Chain A
Amino acid sequence: MSGALQARIDVGFDADFRLDVEFDVPPGTTVALLGPNGAGKSTVVAALAGLVPIDRGRVVLDGVVLVDTEQGLALPAEERQVGVVFQDYVLFPHLSVVENVAFGLVARGAGRAAARRSARNALPEFGLDGLGDRKPAELSGGEAQRVALARALVTQPALLLLDEPLAALDVTTRADLRHLLSDHLADFSGPRILITHDPTEAFLLADEIYVIENGAVTQHGSAEDIRLRPQTPYAADLAGANLLVGEASDGLVTVASHRLAIADTAASGRVLATVHPRAISLHRRQPEGSPRNTWRTAIRRVEHYGDRVRIQVGDPLRLTAEVTPRAVDALGLSVGDSVWVSIKATEISASPE
């Protein structure tokens, strides 16, 4: 497929850690590599960009072989058409915003003056008007992220790599930047890879998700697949969080005409509400107690994962609850049964979408 990325990467750092992953990314598709810190995700970025050598493997981008260890071939970083938004952005501290953005154009052969002109013209598209002469130290986290994105995209690379692009930002900025990122990802026609440890980011931005743990891919599928059918405890724990999009006002979030009480009374407008499966309780009879949210529904699915059971409940809100096998036995829960769901308002976190 023209434009696609096919990668098989095997890098051994020492006897204790080896990264061995394989994935394909079609053009116009965003793939998230989701995993805990230290899983080897950033090494994938460095390997694809040509910043660390690969022991064994083959990387083909848009029909161009970047690496083929069997043929002893490895294109140097500067000859790859790979745009990278680095973790913490790594903007050149001694250069202005315009010079940072123009850097890649100059490196690829444009004249200084022409490169600066193109860079300056590209700034508004990234919401950077009027910031061209600032130094990176004078930028907010969100601005720095946009400069990093502009710097990577302005050279029109064949592949875009984003290494934890939102991790350094506070919650509100993160939501804005996620939208900007989402727009730019949609405009970029090549394959895109998003490295993240945040399942929300992966679910919202990626078409496909690869879960990476200890240097290996442990699960691969759509956000839906991973959310509903996590295959490892890590995936279940992190990627299994319930995500709900709704409208918030006065300490309530309305999701598909169902109202949930939340602790944050200041939240308003479109929000992303998340509830961890462990925070959801199931009852046979109507519970009486402090939880503000209780309703009656039916069990749609019951899945066992060792010492935990994930139970999916149906309308009005499809949520996954995590309970112990003992609780399942004691309550005699099975598919089709009617149960009461309860969630404490304080267990629902709402952030601007």
Chain B
Amino acid sequence: MRSRTPWPLVALAVAAVLLFALPLFGLLVRTPWSGLGEILGSEVARDALWLSLVTSLGATIVALILGLPLAWLLARIEFPGRALVRGLVLLPLVLPPVVGGAALLFTFGRRGLIGGPIDELTGLVLPFSTWGAVLAATFVAMPFLVITMEGALRNLDTRYEGAASTLGAGRWMVLRRVTLPLVAPSLAAGLVLTWARALGEFGATITFAGNLQGRTQTLPLAVFVALESDRDVAVALSLVMVAISLTVLVALRHRWWGAS
């Protein structure tokens, strides 16, 4: 028996699709196609593109170096306060990024909790520097890597690692030749997600690192500024972000929708 088409549901679903599709269409309609090359070649645009690339990749690398060990500990080791740590990892996902940025400022700012001592000891000032932009992006993006990898490591059959150790493999060789290759697909997905989140970061960056062209002004910040001054630039830069987002979706489609 065929079920009857539930028209009221279809109408609402179409409205939902339009909600996603129309803004994209609006952006494409408004795009100054002829001047696109010139706009994207401008100094402001090139600076923003370059900074976005540097800070998002920097944040991804820091997230990998710090987040992977954390994911491993959360997945494999029973320790007191594990639930608390897991909660802390999730916090940046639900916290408004602006609040995260403010928190970073009060902590790593020149007169912040540990920003002052860092400044005195090393002369490194994080706020309003490119390093600050990396830190802000890491803060909001690292949870994606930790969550993805904790799940992957938890689901990995530990008997593979056991078999490797009975064959004489030490901890490092087990990690390198068994654990990491087996979680490689998840690691790739986690890295892409982390990178995409870092690339789109706005609130924490503008609060903590400011909006200095060539130093902390990433693509989203440049779009925000350009909306006030030159709408064509804003649209062109937005289009770049859309293209990047679509690329990420295509790259990860198998993970989200299964093989198709």
Chain A interface residues toward B at CB < 8 A: 46, 49-51, 76-80, 82-84, 86, 90, 92-94, 103-104, 106-108, 151-152, 155
Contacts and interface: CB of A to CB of B under 8 A. Distances in A.
Nearest to B177: A103
Contacts of A93: 160, 182
A80 B162 CA distance: 13
Nearest to A109: B168
| Residue among A46, A51, A93 with the highest chain B CB neighbour number at 10 A | A51
A92 B170 CA distance: 16
Interface residues of B, number: 17
B165 A78 contact: yes
Contacts of A51: 162, 165-166
Interface string B151-170: 00000010110111111111
A108 B166 CA distance: 11
B181 interface: yes
Contact of B165 (A76, A83, A92): A76
Given A103-B177, A107-B173, A90 B167 contact: no
B167 A155 contact: yes
Contacts of A86: 159, 163
B127 to A, nearest CB: 44
Nearest to B157: A90
A147 to B, nearest CB: 12
Interface of B is mostly: helix
Contacts of A92: 160, 163-164, 178
Interface in B169-213: 169-170, 173, 177-178, 181-182
A151 B167 contact: yes
Contact of A80 (B166, B169, B173): B166
A155 B178 contact: no
A106 B160 CA distance: 16
B167 to A, nearest CB: 4
B167 A107 contact: yes
A103 B165 CA distance: 10
22 contacts: A46-B162, A49-B162, A49-B166, A51-B162, A51-B165, A76-B165, A77-B162, A77-B165, A77-B166, A78-B166, A78-B167, A78-B168, A78-B169, A84-B163, A86-B159, A90-B159, A90-B162, A93-B182, A94-B181, A106-B173, A151-B167, A152-B167
Contact of B160 (A46, A79, A90): A90
What 4 pairs across the A-B complex have the smallest Cβ distances? A104-B167, A107-B168, A77-B165, A107-B169
Contacts of A79: 168
Interface string B33-56: 000000000000000000000000
Nearest to A51: B162
A107 B167 CA distance: 7
Q: Which of B165, B166, B168, B177 has the most CB of A within 10 A?
A: B166
B168 A108 contact: yes
Nearest to A46: B162
A138 to B, nearest CB: 17
Contacts of A83: 166
Given A49-B162, A51-B165, A103-B167, 10 more contacts: A46-B162, A50-B166, A51-B162, A78-B166, A82-B166, A90-B157, A93-B160, A103-B164, A107-B169, A151-B167
A93 B181 CA distance: 10
Contacts of B173: 106-107
A337 B205 CA distance: 97
